[in-house]
Every structure is written in structure tokens, then in C-alpha cells.
């Protein structure tokens, strides 16, 4: 007999919970990937993605693959062997970007800071003067640390060196402002399973006309056939030239998820993420816990809570999952065993989830001998939500 997974409150680093409307969209009848009805859906998805990315870029599409496919497509298409590139790295996903650059045989310079800290634009400027990069890459919302990195100062550095700007917006798109045109981002990718609240499987992507000009004048072929945007863009363009079989049902789901975002309104959605984040911070602080990231650089969508001394990381997460059907994440890389990563993304970012998490966490902590006033976290969060 088949076993179906239990229902969970997904408050980890992703995936997030999804609306019943999105799940229903997944179950709709399949059509061919070149069926006129599906081609019309593709047009709708592109239009909705442009609204969410805040861009008018013609090449704005969902790449067939998870967010990592978006990362790889962004690198293999816009980096050639021998190119000087600079990766501004402040967590695990910045490390992955740098590794991808090296696999493309680029001359990769890395600017890094300790996990949990934001990058210093002056440090990036100094390194850029040394390596004169053709492209600068940075993670906007570092999922491994909970840091939100300001993009505009890095764009100013790109302007000084005429560099392309590549931005990872996997954990920010749909939960934080991501202003592709205003910030002059050349290449930007995300994932469906975070603040967009769609199952994992597609990677929203957009590229500026300036980036496409570079793409079409490459001296070497893209090392990936599947992710070669000179081919993929023809499938999503006017000619609809066959390239691969698009994941039809996932595109149904993405269209529905994007529609929900537009119905809510981006500004209202951003405000909801910020409000619930502030409530969670107030709650964990009232319980005597600390946040890893300083207030001005904290992600609303992914919160890193320092694990207090004497509390077992794995035991706490297992108890939350088994007793309360609630998932949170552990630390990655340098923060492994030091923080919990608590997601408040998309459909998961709800007041009742914040309050339920704080209640459940209090029970788990007190069972391990950690002392905090009963109900203090829920009370403090409720005060913020009442405002």
C-alpha cells in the first residue's frame, strides 16, 4: 500500500507551504508542451514574472529545473573561460556561485566575510580595482545565514568597471523587494519553492538587454546544451522552437502561484513578510534567545536563531517535527549546529504559524532544561501583530 507524507508546517529554509489553489493547478489535464493552450499559459507566466521581478526584460522565463539550475544557467551562459569575475560571498550559496565560476574556467576572485555578516562594499571595490571584473555576482538573500545584502551599492561598483551584475534572489523574490530594472540587475534568478510558494522544480530567471547582447556575441559555445539560453530563448520567444519538453504541470502551478501574488499585491506581500518576521524576532527575544544577524541586515523570509548553550540542535528539530508537525532547518557550513533557520516564506508567512512555532519551541526548550517565562514568546509576538 502506498504511503503518503504527513501534512507539515514548513518553516525551514524551503520548500514553503503552498496554497490549495496551486496544488489543484498541478492536477489539471496535461497538454503537449507545444499545444496552443500551453503556449498561451507560457505568455501569461512571462507577464506575471515580469511583474514580480519588477522588470520589462523580454527574456524573463522559468527555467526547467530547481533554483540551482537557475544559478547554473546564469553562470554558464554569461561567463566564458578566462573571464575575470568577482564573487561577493557571504554564505554557502555564494560559495556555490564561486565553484560554478571555477568550473567554467573563469578567473574567479572572491570577497568573503564571516557567516552571518553582510558584505562591505568598500572591500568589494578594492578587489574590483585589482581584478577588473567583467561580471560581479552576489547573493541577495543568503539562505544559509539569514543576511539580506543591499544590492544598490554593488551596482554602483559594477558601473565603475562596466561589469555585469548577477544576483541570486532565490529566497527574496516574492518576500522582499527585488527591483530588477531600478537596481539595474543584469542577470537574476530565483526558485519557485521559497517566497513564491510553489513546489520546487522551476527557476524564475530574467536577463537585461545588455546581458543578452553579451550572450549573443559569445566567443565560445555555452558548455551546457540543456541550459543554453541561446536555444532556450527561442522556445520562449515568438518562434516557439522546440528545445525540451517543459514540465507542463509545474508551469500550471507557477502561473497560479504568481497569480496569487499579484492578487495580494507585491507591496502588501512584502509588508506581511516584514510584520511576521518582526513578530517572530520579538517572540524569540522575549524567550531569552538571540538572532544571529544584526537588525538592519536581517531577512524577513529566513530567520537565523542562535541555539542557546545546553540545548541540543537535532533533538529540538526532531521534537518539533514529530510532536508538532513543524519543520525548521539547521545551520549550514560554518553555522552548522550553531543556529536554527526558521523560514517565513510565502504561504507559510502567517501570524498563526509564528505563534504556533513560538509555543512549540518553548515546550521543546523547557523539556531540555532551558528556562524562560511561560508564554513570553507568544505574548511578545502577539503584541507586535496587534500593532
Average pLDDT, the chain: 97
Find out whether 298 and 278 touch, Cβ atoms under 8 Å. no
Q: How many helices (H) and strands (E) does the chain have?
A: 13, 15
Neighbours of 295 (CB within 10 A): 8
Residues 309, 371: contact at Cβ < 8 Å?
A: no
pLDDT of residue 1: 56
Q: What percent of the chain has pLDDT over 90?
A: 96
Q: Could you tell me which CATH number the domain at 266-386 has?
A: 3.90.1150.10
C-alpha cell at 152: 544598490
Q: 2 pLDDT exceeds 90? A: no
- The predicted structure's pLDDT at residue 239: 85
pLDDT of residue 123: 97
- pLDDT tens for residues 265-320? 999 999 999 999 999 999 999 999 999 999 999 999 999 999 999 999 999 999 99
Residue with cell 504556533: 356
Quick: pLDDT tens for 208-257: 999 999 999 999 999 999 999 999 999 998 888 989 999 999 999 999 99
Write out pLDDT tens, residues 96-123: 999 999 999 999 999 999 999 999 999 9
368-374: long-range contacts, CB 8 A cutoff, minimum separation 24? 368/310, 368/311, 368/312, 368/315, 368/316, 369/310, 370/288, 370/308, 370/310, 370/311, 371/288, 372/286, 372/287, 372/288, 373/286, 373/287
Whether pTM exceeds 0.95: yes
State pLDDT tens for residues 142-182.
999 999 999 999 999 999 999 999 999 999 999 999 999 99
- Rounded CA separation 379/377 (Å): 5
The structural architecture, per CATH, of the domain 19-263 is 3-Layer(aba) Sandwich (3.40)
Sequence spans of domains, the chain: 19-263, 266-386
* Model confidence at 376: pLDDT above 90: yes
Amino acid at each position: 500500500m502506498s504511503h503518503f507524507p504527513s501534512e507539515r508546517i514548513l518553516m525551514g529554509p524551503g520548500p514553503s507551504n503552498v496554497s490549495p489553489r496551486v496544488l489543484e493547478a498541478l492536477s489539471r489535464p496535461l497538454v503537449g508542451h507545444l499545444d496552443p493552450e500551453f503556449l498561451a499559459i507560457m505568455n501569461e507566466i512571462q507577464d506575471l514574472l515580469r511583474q514580480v521581478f519588477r522588470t520589462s526584460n523580454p527574456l524573463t522565463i522559468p527555467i526547467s529545473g530547481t533554483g540551482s539550475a537557475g544559478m547554473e544557467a546564469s553562470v554558464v551562459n554569461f561567463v566564458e573561460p578566462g573571464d575575470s569575475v568577482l564573487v561577493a560571498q557571504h554564505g554557502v550559496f555564494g560559495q556555490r556561485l564561486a565553484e560554478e565560476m571555477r568550473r567554467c574556467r573563469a578567473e574567479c576572485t572572491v570577497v568573503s566575510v564571516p557567516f552571518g555578516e553582510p558584505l562591505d562594499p568598500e572591500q568589494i571595490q578594492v578587489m574590483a580595482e585589482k581584478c577588473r571584473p567583467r561580471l560581479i555576482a552576489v547573493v541577495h538573500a543568503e539562505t544559509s545565514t539569514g543576511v539580506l545584502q543591499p544590492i544598490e551599492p554593488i551596482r554602483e561598483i559594477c558601473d565603475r568597471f562596466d561589469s555585469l551584475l548577477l544576483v541570486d534572489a532565490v529566497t527574496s523574490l516574492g518576500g522582499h523587494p527585488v527591483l530588477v530594472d531600478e537596481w539595474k540587475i543584469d542577470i537574476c534568478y530565483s526558485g519557485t519553492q521559497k517566497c513564491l510558494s510553489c513546489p520546487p522544480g522551476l527557476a524564475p530567471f530574467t536577463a537585461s538587454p545588455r546581458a543578452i547582447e553579451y550572450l549573443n556575441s559569445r566567443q565560445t559555445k555555452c558548455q551546457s546544451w540543456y541550459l543554453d539560453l541561446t536555444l532556450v530563448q527561442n522556445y520562449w520567444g515568438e518562434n516557439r522552437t522546440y528545445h525540451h519538453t517543459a514540465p507542463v504541470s509545474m508551469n500550471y502551478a507557477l502561473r497560479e502561484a504568481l497569480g496569487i501574488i499579484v492578487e495580494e499585491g507585491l507591496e502588501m506581500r512584502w509588508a506581511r513578510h516584514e510584520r511576521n518576521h518582526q513578530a517572530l524576532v520579538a517572540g524569540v527575544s522575549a524567550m531569552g534567545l538571540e538572532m544571529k544577524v544584526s537588525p538592519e541586515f536581517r531577512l524577513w523570509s529566513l530567520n537565523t536563531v542562535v541555539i542557546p548553550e545546553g540545548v541540543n540542535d537535532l533533538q529540538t528539530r526532531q521534537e518539533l517535527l514529530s510532536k508538532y508537525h513543524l519543520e525548521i532547518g539547521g545551520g549550514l557550513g560554518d553555522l552548522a549546529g550553531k543556529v536554527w533557520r526558521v523560514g517565513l516564506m510565502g504561504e507559510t508567512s502567517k501570524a498563526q504559524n509564528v505563534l504556533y512555532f513560538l509555543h512549540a519551541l518553548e515546550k521543546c526548550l523547557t523539556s531540555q532544561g532551558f528556562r524562560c517565562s511561560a508564554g513570553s514568546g507568544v505574548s511578545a509576538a502577539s503584541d507586535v501583530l496587534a500593532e
